[in-house]
Amino acid sequence: MSFARKVFEKKSDDSVHMQFQKFSRGEFKNKALVNAKNSRGKYSIATSYEYANDLVRLMAEKLGNSKTLVTGGVISTLDLTGIVDFSEKKQFMGVKQYVINKEMTGKEILELCEKVPSAFTALSFKTEDSELKIKAKAPKSAKPSTKSSDEKPKVDFCKLITSDKNLAREILFDVNLEGFKKAEISHDFIITDLIIPQGEKDFAKMRELAKRKGKIIRKLDIDGIKSQKEAELLA
């Protein structure tokens, strides 16, 4: 289940917490962007970076015990040597990219995700009826919105092509999958409070464990018909 669907269906968990861990207080506009097209049951879905880890997990679950060629990288500030089986290691400004280029089963991809839950998994691979492509680079850090940054950025970090309606529904959970032709979705993350664990004095731990409280505004444009909805956030 995608993190946005979890928030709106009130099923927040550790993966949702990880999604918002990097956010401070503030208003973050035009996040978790989605551009989708439906051509006779074939869905072309482009998203911003926020969906990358969810899409990798969802595709890996589909793949199961079958094997496929996996390319891309696991990106982290941590030293993952001995944890990630990589073919090459790149580093820039303290951010490490562990290059992946090998055949893996869906189960092995999921195991990798479990080993490095805080890492950014920019992996590209195919299943029988779906193809996922993710840019193998670190996403930009989250910054509060200003008037000059309200323009929507280009939506091309992740690209999913699938005929699997259930997979498409994870991202387009409130869209009529049979009835739409074009959908554009964006979110505003409004963080009003950081709830710090009592007794914790380590600043790094405080930031890591703090829960973000606020709301998410989900804006939809489905074939020219605009609407929006809100959900409370505590993750």
Prediction pTM value? 0.91
Task: Summarize pLDDT for 41-70 with one digit per residue, the tens.
Answer: 999 999 999 999 999 999 999 999 999 999
Task: Summarize pLDDT for 182-213 with one digit per residue, the tens.
Answer: 999 999 999 999 998 888 778 878 888 899 99
* pLDDT confidence bin for 5, thresholds 50/70/90: very high
Q: Report d(CA 1, CA 9) in Å as an integer.
A: 10
The domain limits of the chain are 3-234
